[in-house]
Amino acid sequence: MIKKGLSRLGIFFLYLISFLPFWLLYLFADMLFILIYHVFKYRRSVVQQNLANSFPEKSAAELKLIDKQYFKYLADLIMENIKLVSISERQLKRRLVVTNPEMISNYYAKGRSVIVVGGHYCNWEMAGLGFCFYTTNKFIVVYKPLTSAVFNQFFINMRSRFGTIPVSMKQTLRKMIEFKNEPSTFALLGDQTPVREDATYFTTFLNQPTAIFLGIEKLAKSMNDVVLFYAMKRVKRGYYTCTLDDLFENPKHTLPYEISDAHVARLEQCIRDEPQYWLWSHRRWKFKPGPK
């Protein structure tokens, strides 16, 4: 009960903070950067190791710059996501622009549903919240439930503010079957780490053997839904674009792991172009190939 009470109190303060203007939130982000980077050194060793393993061709100075840029962006990302709790529709439409939404509507016209794949790159929460403005039918975001029921419900409420339908990972196929006669868009993050017993397929991602979550490929093949990749770019502080790219129009005709390799490669290209916007503090490579 005490833990739930503290969680609810924390959510209440987040809600109050979300009403602050962006310029003030970014001032807080500048202070937060100093705390997490210089004072508490939050996961600095994890980030540095991940960067060194991912970019062996870069110099120590280049890696240090990416490291610092990442933590600056992480502070911004935290404040931006707090703002999403109360951001207006008008503000969100200005700050998140999908450049070619006709790709989805064209498939809708053919009676096809779409799986949109991205990663923990740029502000994926903002993309999930604002993407529904660019689709005429249902937009479903697949999420991994949090252990805290209070905070899990908090994020469900936030993600569904403008019509997005949040669905937990285990319920995805059931929801796809429910909407099979109604063209819809399902958004998934392709860089999720599978649980250890499901870490059966490894590919090379950022110069390292990486366990790949195969759920996207399995869902796409079972429903034969079109697979698109969304490339998110940061235009400036608090402003983003999303551009859709075709991956597979008929997933049932693909080879094993072809879909997984394709969306992983596409995400890697985004990261290599601007590495500071990926979630480097995540322990992505905790599983290695070999006996479990």
Identify the helix (H) or strand (E) that includes residue 153: helix 149-159
Kindly report, residue by residue over 212-271, the tens digit of the pLDDT: 999 999 999 999 999 999 999 999 999 999 999 999 999 999 999 999 999 999 999 999
Kindly report, residue by residue over 104-146, the tens digit of the pLDDT: 999 999 999 999 999 999 999 999 999 999 998 999 999 999 8
**Phi and psi of 286, rounded to 5°?**
-80, -15
Paired tokens of 169: 């990972």
Task: Please tell me the total number of residues recorded for the chain in this structure.
Answer: 292
Give the residue among 282, 262, 279, 233 at the shortest CA–CA distance from 115. 262
- Are 288 and 229 within 8 A, CB to CB? no
At 87, the pLDDT band (50, 70, 90 cuts) reads very high
Q: What percent of the chain has pLDDT over 90?
A: 89
What is the DSSP-derived secondary structure letter of residue 111? T
Q: Could you tell me which residues are beta bridge partners of residue 290?
A: none
As a whole number of angstroms, the distance between CA 10 and CA 160 comes to 20
Q: Give how far Cα 50 sits from Cα of 3, 31, 63, 183, 263, Å.
A: 33, 25, 10, 39, 20
As a whole number of angstroms, the distance between CA 139 and CA 101 comes to 13
All structural domains of the chain: 2-277 (3.40.1130)
Q: Tell me the torsion sign for CA atoms 265, 135, 130, 4.
A: negative
As a whole number of angstroms, the distance between CA 289 and CA 211 comes to 8
What is the DSSP-derived secondary structure letter of residue 39? I
What is the DSSP-derived secondary structure letter of residue 86? T
Q: Give how far Cα 145 sits from Cα of 167, 173, 181, Å.
A: 9, 16, 27
What is the model's pLDDT at position 287?
83
Q: What's the gap between Cα 130 and its chain centre?
A: 13
Q: Tell me the torsion sign for CA atoms 7, 131, 28, 42.
A: positive
Look up residue 65 and give its amino acid.
L
Using the CB atoms, write b or e for 203-231: b if 16+ within 10 Å. eebbeeebbbbbbbbebbbebebbbbbbb
Kindly report, residue by residue over 35-71, the tens digit of the pLDDT: 999 999 999 999 999 999 999 999 999 999 999 999 9
Instruction: Give all strands (DSSP E) within the chain, no chain letters.
Output: 96-98, 114-118, 139-143, 165-168, 185-189, 202-205, 208-211, 226-236, 239-248
Computed over every residue of the chain, the mean pLDDT equals 95
The stretch 14-20 carries a mean pLDDT of 96
Q: How many CA atoms lie within 13 A of 164 on its CB side?
A: 28
